[in-house]
Amino acid sequence: VLQLIADGLTNPQIAEKIFVSVLTVNSHRKNLLSKFEVSNTASLIREAAKMGLI
């Protein structure tokens, strides 16, 4: 999910691509924000890139 977010896909696009509901994608996104201790997607991507995850 992190890579798909970084690729610029929307939650509905991610859900369709990996065959899960939009609510599941929302949950994953919220959990990622929490785990990376950031408040927005741009910060999430920046921190993930710093760590070499994307």
What pLDDT, in 10s, does the model give residues 21-52? 999 999 999 999 999 999 999 999 999 999 99
User: Which CATH number describes the domain made up of 2-50?
Assistant: 1.10.10.10
pLDDT at position 42 is 95
Question: What's the pLDDT band for 1 if we cut at 50, 70, 90?
Answer: very high
Structural domain boundaries of the chain?
2-50
Token couple for 12:
């509905």
Cα separation, 18 vs 50, whole angstroms: 25
Question: What's the pLDDT band for 5 if we cut at 50, 70, 90?
Answer: very high
Q: What is the pTM of this model?
A: 0.85
DSSP state of 21: -
Cα separation, 50 vs 47, whole angstroms: 5
Is the sign of the CA dihedral 19, 15, 3, 7 positive or negative?
positive
pLDDT at position 31 is 98
